Structures are given as structure tokens and as C-alpha cells.
Amino acid sequence: MTRSINQKSQLDKEAWQLLDNSIIYYQGKPVGTVAAHDPDSDALNYDQCFLRDFVPSALVFLMSGKTEIVRNFLVETLRLQSHEKQMDCFRPGSGLMPASFKVELFGSEELLVADFGEQAIARVPPVDSCLWWILLLRAYEKATGDLELARQPNFQAGIKLILDLCLAHRFAMYPTMLVPDGAFMIDRRMGVYEHPLEIQVLLYAALRAAGELLLPDGDGDRYLHNLTGRLGALKYHIRNYYWLDLKRLGEIYRYKGDEFGKEIANKFNIQSQSIPGWLAEWLPETGGYLAGNLGPGRMDFRFFALGNLMAVLASLSSELESQRIINLFAKRWEDLIGYMPVKICFPALQGLEWQIVTGCDPKNIPWSYHNGGNWPVLLWIFTAAALKTGRVELAQEAIAVAESRLHHDRFPEYYDGNNGRLIGKEARVYQTWTIAGLIAAKELLANPDYLNLITFAESFEDMQCIL
């Protein structure tokens, strides 16, 4: 037994050391972590700090009292926030946060250089960066008790710029946010354009966080009023129209098409023939989940892990729905957890559908990368959701599965195959968010009070449904 404990301790030390080695310094201060330290591959952009990638690292640093790096990250990325107001289609819009940044030397001077998607696959800007930034600012405040940072005028202005971007008047009748394909963690063409669940959940959580961080003085009241109204409408919309269980599936199956008027059941004109054949057998009696996307004549019935798990943490899903989401993982463990937590989406696109939807993307072949691959970074958010719903045993089991392989496999970016048995075909090793995801999951399990950094209560003061 002693030997086993010592071995475990050594493995933990290795993970912490790898995380420390990934830290980026700017003018002598820690400001972020590189995406990966793969000794066998070219750096490409993996030597940069991606805002979404830094989230699990930031949470680990906050849990361990290393708060300086998170504060520096928040300060420096705020300076990088776009303030462009001219109508230039080739520049990032005002309020946008970069996808990533890196430190470059110009002579003897160090500068932070940001990428807003100009160099990304298909040149898509990151919609999720600004939403994660607000969530990290809230987590920093909760971990440190430092109430002054977010109340500084530049931080208040930065939050408002993000809200201007997210709450802008648009050509839409729904409270959800319209985004292009590839604008978040799934950053390649995967048919996730329009109103993908992940962005709607992150938007909801970021609005909740902004409601806690914004001061009511000046025009703050107006922003608080606007975001509260949007929160109520968004919550109503997601719970009523995105939710799928066997009862709801039965209703969709019997929908009539081309209904007109206010009092109709099939508001989005979903055709029952669009229900995939696998779904009725796959959904367990006690399980359910939020659909991947919803729009005119379209419901994406695929299961997307990050959006559903984040809905549990943000209390966007009801308590009963949250239990059913976690039940789905328990009942379909082999599909969604398998040999490495957690499958990013299920099922994979295959055949002609894969060709049409992904554009024959060779990286997103069936059961690989974003198309049904298993991503160990999602372990931390699965652990948090399991703990929030009182399913500690599921968190323990998932962590044990991950620990049995990650150290030996050198912390890969992702895994391939129906059950995640293979190290990803093009996966980088020593991927920082994989390392941080494992550490964060273990820290959450050891001290569930850390859930307060990233979770929200069910109730929200003054929330009104405007529908």
C-alpha cells in the first residue's frame, strides 16, 4: 500500500512539474501557459497561450494559491481586447478577445502579440474567448477575495464591451447567439454553426458572472437590466426547446409540420423524419440531454459533452435535468467515457454525412479529434458536474480511468476510436490543458468547496422571463 501511495505521489509531482514548465513569462511575470510542449512535433501555434486552453490551468493555479499568474493573465488579455470601431471586415470587432497570444522579441523589447483568428483554420474568430474571460475574472474574485480588480474602470469597460458584442441587436427572433462554424472548442467545420449549445451555455454563464461583477453606477444599471432580461429569456428557451428525453422525443416524433400561428407545438418546424435512428434506442429511461443545436427546421440531435456539463454547472439545466444528464453518462459510460474521459460528441459523423458536413476534413475523420474523439481536458468539468449533482462515485471512477493511462501516454491532446482506446492520430503529447484537467479534477474531488469558483446557484435575483 505504501508503495502504491508513493508511486501516486510521484505521478502527481510529475503533473505539477509539467504544468509549471508550461508557464509563459512576459517582462518577468507569469502570464499564461503554452498549449503544449511536444518534443516530437513542430511548435506551430502550440507555443502560444490560448484563452480557452488556459481555463483549467487558471483554476488549478487559483486552487493552489498561485493567483498572481491568473491576475496577470486577466490584466494582459484585457489590454489585448479589440477596440476596433471602423467598418473593416478584416479586423476583429470591438469587444472581441483574442484566441491566443505569444511573447515576441522586437530588438530588446518584449511584446505580447495576439491572434484574433487571422491565422486560425478558416480564419474564424473565437466567440468563446470573451465568455471564458468573464468566467475566469469571477473565479479569480471568488478565490482571492480581491474585489478591486473587476471594479477598476478598465475592467468595467472591458466587460461592457463584451456585453455590447453579445447583446447587440441582430436579425433574430431568439435569445440565443448566432455564431459561425468553428468559433469555439470545436474550431473546425463540424456543422455546429447557427445556435450551438456550447456557446449558448457559455453566454448564459458569462451573463450570470457579469451580473455579479458589474457596478450599477453610471450606465451599469442599463447593462444589468439588459443582461437580466436576456438571462431569463435564454433560460426559458434552452430548457423548453433544447431538452431531449424519451418523453420529449415522443412529442417530436408526432409533430405536425408547417404550423402557423402563436399557439403551436412545432415552433421550429422540425420534421419527425430528421430524428436519427440510433437515438430512440440509445436514450435511457432515466437519462436526457440538451440538443447540440436548434434553428429553423433543424435540430442537431448529437450529444455534445462540454455544453451539457457546463449547463449543469451554470444551473442552466434544472436540477432534474442535471441529474438526467449525469444519468446519461452513467448509463452510456462505454460510449461517453470509455477508456478515456470524456467523448466530445456522440455519435461521430460518418460516410456521406461526414463528407458533406465536414468538407471531407481529414483530421475530423469518424471517431477522431472533434468528430467523436475523447478529450481528457473535459475530465475537470465532468468531475465538477458529477460533484454538483452528488454523484461522487462517477467522478472517482472517471479520474481513475484517466490516471491509469495519462502519465504513461505522456498526456495526449485527445484519443481516437469509438471508446477512446487509441492515442489521437495527430494528438500532441504533453498537452497543457490535459495535464491541468487531471490536476483540477483531483483538486475538486479533494475539496468540493472549489466548485464555487465555476458554479452558479439555481436562483438568480430579479431574473424575469420576457417571453
DSSP state of 91: S
Contact 268, 293 (CB under 8 A): no
By C-alpha distance, which of 245, 291, 286 is closest to 268? 291
pTM listed for this prediction: 0.95
Beta strands in 279-406 (DSSP E): 289-290, 293-295, 298-300, 303-304, 345-346
Per-block mean pLDDT, blocks of 10 residues, the chain (467 long): 54 94 97 95 90 98 98 98 68 86 92 89 88 98 98 97 91 91 94 97 98 94 96 97 97 90 88 95 97 96 98 98 98 98 98 97 97 98 98 98 97 98 97 98 97 91 38
The C-alpha atoms of residue 353 and residue 349 are separated, in whole angstroms, by: 6
- Phi-psi bin for 65: left (phi > 0), alpha (psi -120 to 50), beta? left
> What is the identity of the amino acid at 148?
E
The C-alpha atoms of residue 369 and residue 356 are separated, in whole angstroms, by: 17
The pLDDT score that the predictor gives to residue 365 is 98
> The C-alpha cell of 297 is what?
427546421
Residue 40 neighbours by CB distance under 10 Å: 8
Contact 107, 181 (CB under 8 A): no
> The C-alpha cell of 409 is what?
501516454
Question: Could you please report the per-residue DSSP string of 170-191?
Answer: -S-SSSSPPB-TTSSSS-S-SS
For the chain, give every domain's residue range. 29-166
The C-alpha atoms of residue 240 and residue 267 are separated, in whole angstroms, by: 11
Contact 116, 82 (CB under 8 A): yes
Helix or strand (DSSP H, E) at 322 = helix 319-331
- Cβ contacts of residue 132 below 8 Å, gap of 6+? 51, 52, 55, 202, 206
The pLDDT score that the predictor gives to residue 466 is 31
Contact 433, 414 (CB under 8 A): no
Helical H runs in 218-346? 220-237, 246-253, 279-282, 305-313, 319-331, 333-336
Pairing of strands 29-33, 23-26: antiparallel
Q: How far apart are the two ends of the chain, measured CA to CA in Å?
A: 59
The pLDDT score that the predictor gives to residue 439 is 98
The pLDDT score that the predictor gives to residue 467 is 30
The pLDDT score that the predictor gives to residue 457 is 94
